[in-house]
Amino acid sequence: MIDTLRIFLTLADAVIITDSNHRIMEVNETYQTITGYKRETILGSKASIVKSKLTSKATYRSMYEALNRGSSWSGIFINKKASGCLWHSSISITPYEIGGNVYYVGIFRELEHLAEGVYVAEERRNNIQGVLLKVLAISCEIRDPAIEEHLLRVQQYTEQLVTVHNKRMGLNLKEDYKQSIIHSSIMHDIGKSGVPEGILYKPGPLTGYERLIVEMHPLIGVDILSKINIELTDSFFKDELSVARQIILSHHERWDGTGYPHRLKGTDIPLEARIVSVVDVYDALTSRRPYKEIWSKDKALAYLKENKGTAFDPDIIDSFVRIEEMQTDRLPS
């Protein structure tokens, strides 16, 4: 064992030291206590002895890419103890080159019993948040039998648009923020639950009074969300609902400042609302509703382009058009 690395074994967290082939050279007492594996039985074994099938492939890919570059890496693993029980851990792995040889020092912190409650893996948390927001959105608009299909399409378009726009414009949006936009997009019209059906699904033109009632739905939606938010005592949904609030309140604002309810203009409109505004209109135009016929995709795209810079953010329209072009390019000739 390299004496230079022994200092790490005195840490309170679980520590594992491996050679360049990821074979275990040493572990400390905390590692043995958490995993249930005795030092003498695992020395020389692969570090993957604690590996489960539940950690995503993307996590391992990210780890190996960093280590192969000679860089440190941090992430979350779902591992398996000697007993077969699962344990979640935050791990940092750092490569050290000593005497021409590379060694890896992994420092684990068990996440099962945090002071604020039980740890929930990020992927599972995202799934839970997405499902609950979907249930809430559908519950608020249950009067419309086609609403679930509309919400799912809006969410799918939003995911594509967030991904392409972020890459095309070099925005470097954080993954949590992108996921919040995608999950929250289905909440955009929950305020319509407060609009009378006779107005909401009226086949003909709305009167001025009826239009005012419809334009109240973003404020009604925010009121619904605020009542939910008051009941939350932790941060599990706080960030998610903050993004949802911006989408609900501002997805009918227009780039030129003539939208509602607050006549926001340009980049004063939150990015998430500008994105959902485009996909919501596109799906509404290309879907059959009680009060309108289906538009072709070409006609709907032409409408978006015509309103670029007036109703919609020009850059977001360009990104959305690019998505449609990419899908067309993939069609067989």
Q: Which residues pair with 114 in a beta bridge?
A: 117
| Amino acid identity for residue 302 in this structure | A
Encoded tokens for 75: 């992430």
pLDDT above 90 coverage of the chain, percent:
41
Contacts of 146 (CB under 8 A, 6+ apart): 287, 289
Quote the pLDDT of residue 132. Answer: 52
Encoded tokens for 210: 């009826």
Of 330, 329, 323, 326, give the one whose Cα is nearest residue 159.
323
pLDDT exceeds 90 at position 222: no
User: How crowded is the C-beta side of 97, counted as CA atoms within 13 Å?
Assistant: 7
273 within 8 A of 222, measured Cβ to Cβ: no
Max Cα distance, the chain (Å): 83
- Output the CA torsion sign for 223, 127, 154, 204: negative
Quote the pLDDT of residue 105. Answer: 92
Contacts of 72 (CB under 8 A, 6+ apart): 66, 92, 93, 94, 95
Give the mean pLDDT of 277-303: 89
Quote the pLDDT of residue 301. Answer: 95
Q: What is the pTM of this model?
A: 0.60
Task: Give yes or no: 192 in active site.
Answer: yes
- Output the CA torsion sign for 166, 170, 171, 177: positive
Quote the pLDDT of residue 295. Answer: 93
Contacts of 205 (CB under 8 A, 6+ apart): none
Look up residue 293 and give its DSSP letter.
P
186 within 8 A of 247, measured Cβ to Cβ: no
pLDDT above 70 coverage of the chain, percent:
81
Tell the residue number behind the tokens 């086609």, with chain if given: 146
Q: For the chain, list the domains and their CATH numbers.
A: 3-110 (3.30.450.20), 122-329 (1.10.3210.10)
The SS3 assignment for 330 reads: coil
Q: What is the pLDDT of residues 242-252, one digit of tens each?
A: 898 999 999 99
Quote the pLDDT of residue 111. Answer: 67
End-to-end CA distance of the chain: 63
* Residues 170-188 as b or e (16 or more Cβ within 10 Å = b): eeeeeeebbbbbbbbbbbb
Quote the pLDDT of residue 309. Answer: 97
221 within 8 A of 184, measured Cβ to Cβ: no
Catalytic residue among 192, 202, 265, 308: 192
Tell the residue number behind the tokens 């009918």, with chain if given: 252
Distance CA 170, CA 151 (A): 28
Q: What is the pLDDT of residues 31-73, one digit of tens each?
A: 999 899 999 999 999 998 988 877 778 788 888 888 988 888 8
Quote the pLDDT of residue 224. Answer: 79
Distance CA 277, CA 311 (A): 9
> Which pLDDT band holds residue 12 (cuts at 50, 70, 90)?
confident
pLDDT exceeds 80 at position 95: yes
Q: How far is CA 270 from the centre of its chain?
A: 17
Quote the pLDDT of residue 277. Answer: 97
Encoded tokens for 284: 């509404």
